[in-house]
Structure 1
Amino acid sequence: MSSRMICLTLLLLFHWAPKPAEAQEHRTVAAGSSVLLTALPTNNTEHIQWEYIRSSTPENIMHYYRTGKEPVIAERYEGRVVFYSSNGSLLLKNVQVSDSGIYRATINLNKIDAKETVLKVIEPVSKPQLQINSTVVGSAVELSCEVPSGKVQAIDWKKDGKPLPRNRCYLLSESFNVLYIPEGQKSDCGSFSCNASNEISWQETSVNLTIEGITPPQKHALTISTVALAIAITLAAGSVLGFLVLCCQKENKKITGELWRWLVVSIHGLVCVSSTLMIIASVLWMREDGLSKVLTFYMILLMWVTMVTLLVSMILAICPLHLQMFKKKTSK
């Protein structure tokens, strides 16, 4: 192999060999900001050249000779760069996404020891916008997180400032920008936040989710309450009608004896059934909205009415003689 071929081979090896760590740098900055690009330090700098490499084609930015007075800046970069002759660094101002690429600083025309900075310019994310499609209990709820501008690399969801609870079925879309709640419940109410981020910025937006409407247990409670109310209205109407009948009847034709006893048993039985239904409805409602003082007092009152009416009905139906004994004792 000739000496000429050996020299060409060595040049190619030096050209394509990976640069040392100090000769390579990776920077990621936000669009609109300024970035300082540095060159390799050297004791004897006679000439320095900055280039921008786009698709393997170098584009001159500026070059500076120590013997000269001012750096020579390419027309395209006039007003956009500031050169510091003391250390050879270059300040690139108001960078845009199109400025991404490789910036190379060559000292004394030595291409092998040139420093390259791989610059990545990305748009910072803007503040996300949260939208809710439905707030009706039992329906499918979707929270959509839309970022108007900027490159989004990650989206994180939180509820009340904490990670999404695992005891509820929360589903996320493939891009994580939509949060699905298959069946919205009152327990899902709270503050949901969407955090959008990339390498250089992050933004967060929160929205309060309020699930409205009546849950299935509450619907059952309302149905039971309606039945109990119907029984109570029927009982009241029957009592008023019976009272009017008794008042209008003649003395010798008034209801007495066994018929009267079973009429009283029926009335107390209906009151007992109505109170029991109201207790069941209160329990169902309490499971959804929690326990309150008013509801506790209401349930205690209903339980007392239920026990009293049940006891009176049983005594009248099974052992009516006990009431006669009580009547005799009171008459004495």
Structure 2
Amino acid sequence: MRPIALLLIVCLLYQGSFQGAVEKFVLRGEDVLLELQGARPSDCYQFTWEHIGTSNNVVVLVSESNPSINPSYSGHVEFSDKKFSLLLKNLQVNDSGVYTAEYKPSKFTGFKTLVEYKVTVQEPVSPVDLTVTSVSSSEDSCNLTVTCTTLGSHINTTFRCDDQTCYKEHETSEITTTNSLEVYWSHGSIICNHSNQVSWTNKSMDMKPPCKSPAVIPPQSGLSVGLIVRIVSTVAVCGGVCGGVYFFKKE
């Protein structure tokens, strides 16, 4: 009875080390390695990697025999006989889910969990566009509103700026994804950043100096004083010439 009791104690110690699901975020098309946390259990009757919610186990190993890999995962996984680790390859979004490593200490006992992974496969984030939508200035500061847009989401941010830096004053957004979309000021630039746990993209706008007095543009309609003076002078000269010619012919 002693060997059996020792085996049960060893397996219970492994069970006691289970601390809940480990999160893994993976970019679509990449691989992820699922490992045991610690050494593999010794002298256990059966070991499996299971994708929770699917109809069959991914890998089954019984009494150190050759591992049996589910045909639906053929070419999609690699199993290590030495470490009992599982490599998932070329992951797609539908590969997301919970994967557990379980074992049976003997033929007559139930399965116990060694480790559990929550795998989330994410698409790369979409690019962003950053534009200035309004600017208003005073003597010592300005208000600048920018809009950052990406696929299905946008964010409008108003900054109050002086001649040194900008401070976020107001923000409204419409975000339809779980990704992070944010606008902020950093080292002379306004930046829009779009990210998730596995990818990111951004666009920046140089704002040095933050506030610049707008150029004064002369009116485009009406007559300036200088132009009026020139017109009057021209008319006077023409009138004098014409008058001289008239009197010369009269004589």
TM-score range, shorter chain: 0.5 to 0.7
- For 1:102-145, what per-residue CA distance to the aligned partner results, in whole angstroms no more than 9, with x for missing partners? 111013356344311111111111333x387999xxxxx98562
Aligned mate of 1:198, from 196, 219, 227: 196
Instruction: Find the residue that maps to 1:240 and give its secondary structure.
Output: helix
User: 1:29: Cα distance to partner?
Assistant: 1.1
**Hey, what does 2:74 align to over in structure 1?**
78
What letter is aligned with 1:218?
I
**Hey, what does 1:146 align to over in structure 2?**
150
Q: Does structure 1 retain, via aligned residues, the 8 Å contact 2:91–2:121?
A: yes
Query: How far, CA to CA, are the matches of 2:64 and 2:47 in structure 1?
Result: 12
Alignment of 1:114-129 (within 5 A): 114-128=114-128
TM-score scaled by structure 2? 0.59
Aligned mate of 1:26, from 23, 26, 29: 23
Q: How many residues align?
A: 200
**Hey, what does 2:95 align to over in structure 1?**
99
Query: How far, CA to CA, are the matches of 2:59 and 2:221 in structure 1?
Result: 83
Q: Does structure 2 retain, via aligned residues, the 8 Å contact 1:155–1:194?
A: no
TM-score scaled by structure 1? 0.46
User: 1:227: Cα distance to partner?
Assistant: 2.4
Q: Does structure 2 retain, via aligned residues, the 8 Å contact 1:158–1:192?
A: no
**Hey, what does 1:111 align to over in structure 2?**
111
User: 1:232: Cα distance to partner?
Assistant: 2.1
Q: Does structure 2 retain, via aligned residues, the 8 Å contact 1:52–1:61?
A: yes
**Aligned pair in 2 of structure 1 residues 84, 134: CA closer, same or farther (>3 Å)?**
same
Identity %: 25
Query: How far, CA to CA, are the matches of 1:101 and 1:133 in structure 2?
Result: 41
User: 1:217: Cα distance to partner?
Assistant: 5.3
**Aligned pair in 2 of structure 1 residues 80, 143: CA closer, same or farther (>3 Å)?**
same
**Hey, what does 1:258 align to over in structure 2?**
none
Query: How far, CA to CA, are the matches of 1:79 and 1:90 in structure 2?
Result: 12
What letter is aligned with 2:47?
I
User: 1:242: Cα distance to partner?
Assistant: 6.1
Please, which runs of 5 or more residues in structure 1 have no aligned partner?
1-13, 136-140, 180-190, 209-214, 251-332
- For 1:51-80, what per-residue CA distance to the aligned partner results, in whole angstroms no more than 9, with x for missing partners? 1112xx763111113531x21011111111
What letter is aligned with 2:42?
N
**Aligned pair in 2 of structure 1 residues 218, 206: CA closer, same or farther (>3 Å)?**
same
What letter is aligned with 1:117?
Y
User: 1:27: Cα distance to partner?
Assistant: 1.1
What letter is aligned with 2:116?
E
**Hey, what does 1:53 align to over in structure 2?**
52
**Hey, what does 1:293 align to over in structure 2?**
none
Query: How far, CA to CA, are the matches of 2:157 and 2:63 in structure 1?
Result: 56
- For 1:165-202, what per-residue CA distance to the aligned partner results, in whole angstroms no more than 9, with x for missing partners? 449x98654339899xxxxxxxxxxx976432111110
- Which structure has more relative contact order (CA 8 Å, sep 6+)? It is 2
Query: How far, CA to CA, are the matches of 2:200 and 2:231 in structure 1?
Result: 65
Segments ≥4 residues shifted beyond 6 Å: 131-135, 154-159, 176-179
Q: Does structure 2 retain, via aligned residues, the 8 Å contact 1:143–1:178?
A: no
More helix by share: 1
Instruction: Find the residue that maps to 2:228 and give its secondary structure.
Output: helix
User: 1:229: Cα distance to partner?
Assistant: 4.0
Aligned mate of 1:244, from 228, 241, 244: 241
Query: How far, CA to CA, are the matches of 1:126 and 1:34 in structure 2?
Result: 21
- For 1:241-279, what per-residue CA distance to the aligned partner results, in whole angstroms no more than 9, with x for missing partners? 4653785699xxxxxxxxxxxxxxxxxxxxxxxxxxxxx
1:174 aligns with 2:170: no
Q: CA RMSD for the aligned pairs?
A: 4.8
Q: Does structure 2 retain, via aligned residues, the 8 Å contact 1:158–1:194?
A: no
Query: How far, CA to CA, are the matches of 1:96 and 1:124 in structure 2?
Result: 12
What letter is aligned with 1:50?
W
Q: Does structure 2 retain, via aligned residues, the 8 Å contact 1:102–1:117?
A: yes
Instruction: Find the residue that maps to 1:76 and give its secondary structure.
Output: helix
**Aligned pair in 2 of structure 1 residues 58, 117: CA closer, same or farther (>3 Å)?**
farther
What letter is aligned with 2:25?
T
**Hey, what does 1:218 align to over in structure 2?**
217
Instruction: Find the residue that maps to 1:60 and give its secondary structure.
Output: coil
Instruction: Find the residue that maps to 1:103 and give its secondary structure.
Output: strand
Larger Rg: 1
User: 1:235: Cα distance to partner?
Assistant: 2.9
Q: Does structure 2 retain, via aligned residues, the 8 Å contact 1:35–1:91?
A: yes
Q: Does structure 1 retain, via aligned residues, the 8 Å contact 2:48–2:61?
A: yes
Instruction: Find the residue that maps to 2:224 and give its secondary structure.
Output: helix
